[in-house]
Amino acid sequence: MKIRAVELIRVTMPLVAPFRTSFAVETNRDVLLVRVETAEAQGWAECVAMDSPLYSSEYLDGAQQVISDHLLPRLFAADELSGAAVGGLLAPVRGHRMAKSAVETAVLDAELRAMGMPLSQYLGATATEVVSGVSVGIQDTVPELLDAVEEYLDAGYARIKLKIEPGWDLAPVAAVRERFGEDIVLQVDANSAYHRADARHLAQLDTFGLLLIEQPLAEEDLAGNVELAKVIRTPICLDESIVSAQDAYEAIRTGACAIVNIKPGRVGGYLESRRIHDVCAAAGIPVWAGGMLETGIGRAANLALAGLSNFTLPSDISASDRYYAQDLTEPITMTGGRVAVPTGPGIGIDPIPEVVTELTTARTVIQP
């Protein structure tokens, strides 16, 4: 396979409601789409970097520049390209995993579409549906939070994740438990907002029967989680801290986490995601798929991954309408707390050209 051209498309997607985390409030999702054209097929992917480097060090303009100036030239220079070869070709470039993931996924999508094989099958996924959880942002007041949670439970979501930060943790979690009872599956995500000295405070969450606490401490502070795990009973799940299979291995070996959130963008692609899945499976550590407010393009690919057998916890793969009134693809839907794994070739979903055109803010075509 040879690449004929790559199109980088910037799209601005208005969110149905602002989404607040411990690090930012999002009202629009700026997205970078990568379209790879080969003689046989075209492939699509979505870069999950956000407009500012607040979730992690990557951000959209930086990702776009790395793709154009440093990643694509390495792929154009290759004699025979395949999705599986991309990782090795891009390895000399340090970091920039979200950018690498988008490029690898677009190449893989083109290859699989040409072969007529679904990404789920290529990855070895066995499930046809994924248990769907929803991530609920920080709200101004507890009553507003309860209304939001009620709406998602009524819609059928199988698990609720509350974003927390210092000052918005014990009270909202207590209120949700009190209102909706012990039976709802509940977890929290701090996006690195706490410090080791907060261990005793976080231990107070233990009374609420949470499935897990996600990324309580700084990205770099793996050892802090080992200490924290001695003080809290709620299982620690890592997100930002795990950017490779080696990180996952190390976090598990040292006891820094009991659960891993897998986001393909964060770890450099679906193939590294599968390696993390395998490392965790071998160690008896359950995993689930994280989300980055993807459009249908990224969501479809995440569904393929989440069909692997060790994705035993509900994933952050909600329906399109959780974030977007109009998705870039046919909407992804959730029924009875489950979302179907796409069955078509490649990522199994196509962008709707008119919608992409309408929401596009910039496009560039890059050729070998």
Q: Which residues are identified as catalytic? A: 163, 263
328 binds, among Mg ion, ligand SMG, none (CB under 5 to 8 A by kind): none
CB 256 within 8 A of CB 239: no
- Smallest distance from Mg ion to CB 121, Å: 28
Buried-exposed string 42-72: b where 16+ CB fall within 10 A, e elsewhere: bbbbbbbbbbeeebbebbbeebbebbeeebb
Q: Is 314 in the site for ligand SMG (CB under 6 A)?
A: no
Angstrom distance (rounded) from CA 244 to CA 220: 13
- Closer of 242 and 304 to Mg ion (Cβ): 242
Residue nearest to Mg ion (CB): 239
Q: Is 26 in the site for ligand SMG (CB under 6 A)?
A: yes
Rounded to the nearest 5°, which phi and psi values hold at 92? Answer: -60, -25
Angstrom distance (rounded) from CA 280 to CA 114: 32
Per CB under 5 A, contacts with Mg ion among 192-231 are 214
- Smallest distance from Mg ion to CB 61, Å: 23
- Closer of 126 and 333 to ligand SMG (Cβ): 333
CB 225 within 8 A of CB 216: yes
Q: Is 189 in the site for Mg ion (CB under 5 A)?
A: yes
73: burial class by Cβ within 10 Å (0-12, 13-18, 19+)?
exposed
- Smallest distance from ligand SMG to CB 44, Å: 18
Q: Which stretch binds ligand SMG (CB under 6 A): 72-80, 90-98, 288-296, 307-315?
A: 288-296
Q: Is 327 in the site for ligand SMG (CB under 6 A)?
A: no
**E-assigned strands of 222-268?**
236-238, 259-262
- Smallest distance from ligand SMG to CB 24, Å: 6
State whether residue 42 is helix, strand or coil. strand
Angstrom distance (rounded) from CA 109 to CA 114: 8
The binding site for Mg ion (CB under 5 A) comprises: 189, 214, 239
Q: Which residues bind ligand SMG (CB under 6 A)?
A: 19, 21, 26, 55, 135, 189, 191, 239, 290-294, 316, 318
